[in-house]
Amino acid sequence: AVVSTQSTGMKNLGHNAKLLLCFMGIFCCYFYYGVVQEKITRGTYGAEKERYYYTMFLVFCQCIINALFAKGILLITDSPADKTPKHLSFICGVTYVGAMLASNASLKWVNYPTQVLGKSCKPIPVMILGVFLAGKRYNLVKYLSVLLIVIGVALFMYKDGKSDGSGFSFGSGEMLLLTSLTLDGLTGVSQEKMRGYGMKAHFMMLMMNLSALVVMAMSLLATGEVWEAIAFCTRHPEIVPEIVTFGFASALGQNFIFITVSEFGPLMCSIMTTTRKFFTILGSVLLFGNALATRQWIGTGIVFAGLILNDRFGRTVKVDKL
């Protein structure tokens, strides 16, 4: 029997139950995703202890598995024809893959907790660019809650100075994180406009990943990275199951992310993934020994205060008709 993309069970769930289900799905999938990601990008392979540096190829494999997953869901569901302009999907795919590449590449210079805390600022560009480019309007409490999140993240990422008295260290890893955040904001704008056309979760997931694959294929061929990555996998075949596992964790996580975007919007999704990242950090601390200072725990508490404030009082959102 053919079922609807938005299943009856999902429709019958209340607002909070849907959010909880999506959050748990995102948390479980991306917790494991983060563990495998750090193992691939920061681990060593073979007797020569080679490092894996081919982030474009890693994202390319991830997008293939994401697209196959979304297509599989659409094949077994009864989905109406999609009328979203193709250029929106392409723009969304380009910004989406750019954000992933920049984020993954930053792991060469920063550890995983620093990466996920930096990406916890994602609600800021999503909100700001949503206001200027998508006509969104938010109440004062929404701005305040996001400001608390930023303050908490700043406290966490602050690095105590030693010889030069400078606390902030801004290098290649931080620049890549800033680029990733900007592209995240542009992705949110595109997704908001796609929602306006009634685009469903798995259509959005499929089209974004197909668009990303086009960009990735051209980039891999232009740089020649594809051949270097294949050679690395040939020398160290033990990495192949890790890449496949990484891709499947991404596909399952994206399934819940795009349901959240379709049902609640990109800003709510960014806030949910921010919450998830704090639990991911705790897991990374336990598994990889990335210790947190007292100041960083205080920052974490401030971020959670902002998230709670948003959940209690920051839901009201007005949307301008464009």
Distance CA 201, CA 220 (A): 28
Res 69: pLDDT: 95
| pLDDT tens figures, 73-98 | 988 887 677 778 888 888 888 898 88
What's the pLDDT at 319? 46
Q: CB within 8 A of 159, min separation 6: which ones?
A: 167, 168, 169
- pLDDT value of position 251: 95
Rounded to an integer, what distance in angstroms lies between the CA atom of residue 178 and that of residue 302?
A: 21
Q: Which two tokens stand for residue 26?
A: 């995102």
Q: What count of residues does the chain have?
A: 322
Q: Please give the average per-residue pLDDT across 301-310, as a whole number.
A: 80
Average pLDDT estimate for 168-186: 82
Q: At what angle do helices 266-288 and 239-264 cross, to 10 degrees?
A: 150
Q: What is the pLDDT of residue 62?
A: 92
Determine the pLDDT at residue 150: 73
pLDDT (0 to 100) of residue 160: 57
Average pLDDT for 277-296: 69
Mean pLDDT of the 254-263 span: 90
Distance of alpha carbon 115 from the chain centroid: 11
Whether residue 239 is predicted with pLDDT greater than 90 in this model: the reply is: yes
Instruction: Express as a percent the part of the chain with pLDDT over 70.
Output: 81
Which distant-in-sequence residues (6+ apart) come within 8 Å of 219 by Cβ?
56, 225
Model pLDDT, residue 163: 41
pLDDT at 226: 94
Query: What are 224's two structure tokens?
Result: 């020649």
Own/partner contacts of 308-311, CB < 8 Å, gap of 24 or more, are 309/141, 309/144, 309/145, 309/148, 310/141, 310/142, 310/145, 310/146, 310/271
Distance CA 253, CA 256 (A): 5
pLDDT of residue 166 exceeding 60: no
DSSP-based three-state secondary structure for 4? strand
Asked whether the predicted pLDDT for residue 161 surpasses 80, the reply is no
For residue 183, is pLDDT > 80? yes
In contact, 274 and 145? CB cutoff 8 Å:
no
Tokens read off for 170: 């801004």
Rounded to two decimals, what is the model's pTM?
0.74
| C-alpha span between 1 and 168 (Å, rounded) | 58
Report whether pLDDT(164) > 60. no
CA atoms within 13 A on the CB side of 33: 22
Rounded Cα distance between 179 and 237, Å, is 32
Output the pLDDT for position 116: 67
The span from the CA of 155 to the CA of 120, in Å, is 12
Instruction: Give 44's strand partners.
Output: 51
